[in-house]
Structure 1
Amino acid sequence: MTTRPLDGTTATASAAEQARLDAALRDAAWKDDVPRATALVARGADVNAKDETQQSAYLVATSEGRLALLRLALAHGARVDDKDSWNGTGLIRAAERGHALVVGELLRAGIDRDHVNRIGYQAIHEAVWLGRDTSTYVDTVRVLVAGGVQLDRPSRDEGLTPLQMSRERGFDRLTGALVTATTAEPVKEPDAALLSAAGRGDADGVALALRAGADIEARDGRRRTALLLAATGDHVDAARVLVSMGADPDALDDRHDTPWLVTGVTGSVAMLEALLPAGPDLTIRNRYGGVSVIPASERGHVAYVRRVVQTGIDVNHVNDLGWTALLEAVILGDGGERHQQIVRLLLGAGADPSIADKDGVTALEHARDKGYAAIARIIEKA
């Protein structure tokens, strides 16, 4: 145990070191340096410590859309309702910038949904009045709707509701979302409404069902969740609302499909990107024992394979048939340009051409047997 001298020098040194740690953490937050921030928090840096402008690492994460840093801060004691110099919460800051994923994270953390800042705005006001008529802000408004924020309170100075603000700004897309949110009939069976809306790609309907209390992991008769239905139909807007509100990308249905696994079948890069913030388990296997890169390679989804190999997925995973993605691209592909590109992508990502199937036949041997000369040459050069 350290004994503090009467002159207080030990305490002063300790406070100075804490200040340095806290300043370094804020700097890491501004730079979105998650590894450094993690190390600093482990050393005792305070995610709530503010500088002279009332910025903390937690508040920086909210305004700058730093989702990983926000999760780090929330896991280490972030004061979720802390205020900035404008007496604004992190929710207001995130909504102003159109950070829908951060908005959803904060709502699920229990932040004050309807706090009014120093200029008389709630988060929903800032998303509309200070936002733009883009997908980013439409997502943000839908997530705020799903999270149950007030929709009819006028701003202090303008005296405008969010819908009136949207019309004043000439924002057709935001206006459409807000009209639906404020005029739709009450949702009577939220779980069923959620599944139906996700299945038909109705993102506004998804938001309203969640607002009405739907279980985000509700299942249909085939054990499919709303997110799985959205992924199957490639309804990306609906999926983004669901992911922002915490939907599970790994929820298995009765066919052992998950939202993430389905992307390998559909080949949707947009859906892949929508699901990645949810942290899908890349090792979950489909009913054939394969990971998502395998069906994508078989089906010739070039853009998907190009993106998914950047996630760290195991390109040498062997499914229950004894095939890797490379083997499937050759055995079940057509030998054409798409599959040639996929073979190049897989090899470039570390696919091992020496891995043979259950009969001991390699991808190169299969290519030769099928007369896929171009693919055979690609593999020979690997």
Structure 2
Amino acid sequence: MPTPRPTSSACRGLRRLGAGCLLAWWFTVGIHAGVIHDAVLVHDLAGVRQLLLENPDLVNQPTEKGDTPLYIAVFRRYTKQMMPLLLEFGADPNPPPNQRGETPLSIAREINLRQGADLLVRSGAREDDRSRAAEIRYLTSKRDVPELSARLARHPHLINARDAYHQTPLMLAVLDERPDGNVIQTLLRLGADPNATNIFGGTPYSAAVEREHESVSASLRSRGAKETPMSRSAPLRIAARKGLLQEVQEILQQHPEWIGLHNDIQRTALHLAAGTSLPIVELLLRHGADVNVRDFGDNTPLHMAAEAGKLEIVRALLAKKADVLAVNRQRVTPILNAASSGSVPVVEALLAAGADLKNVDNLGETALHRAATSGQVELIKLLLARGFEVDALDRQKQTPLYQAVRAQRIEAVKLLLAHGAKPTLVDVTGDSPLRFAERNKREELVKLLRAATPAP
């Protein structure tokens, strides 16, 4: 069975922090972790088993952030094989909380991994306020007002219980793409704090203002929400995000001190403009915006511009000494983002500025893997012409061809096969491009792959 693969763009269109995509930014496994954690991350069952046979103590080895292998298996939703394997070898279902204040059970509750939570409980995991609070936050995101009210009636002290980003249920409710007034009113009625801050200084009120949820903002003010520098400076970021040049100019004339202020996920006006508007980017840079400022995931404005494929903005940022080798928490550089977007001119501009095409992310994905996944044929041609190995392996031992097949990128598959990509190379789970296509009944792909497979 193929393993789920997170993408660097998993947080595009983000709505909230905590459970879901942004929790992934905490898991930088592979930078300071051990071999066992790397093997769990890529679902290498055989590798994990061999490591534990050789050294059983590895099963409870924590990373520098306090995550044992079981934490990683839970977060990656590996309930069918990896979690049972770790528990079989003696993984502690009640390890000390990690640096984020989580346990495996609380993570399972936070992401609604019911099968995983049940397995942990059967293995001796204890319910506590961490896991109860996580489920309350999940119920908030699910908008299940009756069950949410019932849980808070039993555990009223958890009304403001925070997640890994110190966000309360109320904050998560406000950060929903379409906030549910009933959920918000229920939480406020039960004592939710409208001024509780997350680790970046954001409050439910500042988040509502930032996202232009006017009715929510009014409700929070009626319950005592206070203005903060973040909420007061939100108009600048809103205008930058919308590409409103004149409005940005007027705001900066009145409040030049807002230039470096960020929102509840540490994004500044420059971050928000970098994917949309060259004139606003140039204006912000003239007013002294930090070209290498980092957001919650260590993304710089150059990461944003590269992902959006904005050549002129990339050039403007590079002219102001943007760090072309900046690495975010998932070890993604701007050129890897550009590979995902498929912009050959952006890739070439970054290369001219000193970018390294050999950079890989925390899953070992190369620029070629990313171009194959998104079906960027012209970029694939460029990368192969520059000497990229057509069957480069990531940490799951998957090739660009596997990614193109999985994403049903027919033209990319044809191009890779024409350059000698092998359809039968197996990954850590024993899967191959051909097996994947056959199993999922991708008839056109099966025909192409079989035609390129040497006879036995």
- Give TM-score, length-normalised by structure 2: 0.38
Greater Rg, structure 1 or structure 2?
1
- Give TM-score, length-normalised by structure 1: 0.44
